[in-house]
Amino acid sequence: MKFIVILPAIGMLFSPNLYAKCDKTSKTVFSCLTAKGKQIEVCDNGKVIAYSYGKPNVKPEMAFSVPRAQATTSQWSGVGRYESYAIDIPNKTITYSVFFGTDRLTDKHTVEAGVNVMIKKKLAGTVNCAGKNITNNLEGLTLKPTP
């Protein structure tokens, strides 16, 4: 899958060279590394939600932002064995659903995290996080609920 860089329509959230890193005015909502060493990152500066994907500390393969009102979230209801959270970030006909979940009833509390890429609401692919270095601030995110 080849990605292109899409510049934010309402202002830059990233540094001018578009490195995959939230700037100082933004909160890191989610960040992790994949098995191929790519970084998935979601940033929130209060006005926009930004998504980037690519090698850390270099220009990402893809980066875009949307007005905060366009992003939605799924929050764990507090019931059930699997605790899960997600943020859905639309980009035209593609939605990037960044997720974090854990099985609360196992001793190891296995974590699943990454991004589901949905094209016209159909799953086109999933990129999973690798390792334990995951920044997860999806819990309690105040956005509209995902329908």
Instruction: Give the three-class secondary structure for 68.
Output: helix
**Cα 90 versus chain centre, distance:** 11
The verdict on residue 144 lying in a domain is: no
What is the domain extent for residue 57?
Answer: 27-137
pTM for the whole structure = 0.81
Number of domains present in the structure of the chain: 1
Give the integer Cα–Cα distance in Å for 15 and 19.
6
Is the pLDDT assigned to residue 15 strictly greater than 60?
no
Q: What is the pLDDT of residue 81?
A: 79
Give the pLDDT confidence score for residue 78 in this predicted structure.
77
Which residues are within 8 A (CB) of 80 and not within 5 positions of it... i.e. 6 or more apart? none
Query: How far is the CA of 133 from the CAs of 27, 32, 70, 119, in angstroms?
Result: 17, 6, 28, 28
| Average pLDDT of every residue of the chain | 83
List, for residues 19-51, the tens digit of each pLDDT value. 456 888 889 999 999 999 999 999 999 999 999
Tell me which amino acid residue 89 is: I
Contact 135, 28 (CB under 8 A): yes
Residue 19 lies in a domain: no
Q: Over the stretch 89-144, which tens digit does the pLDDT of each residue have?
A: 999 999 999 999 988 877 777 789 999 999 999 999 999 999 778 999 999 888 98
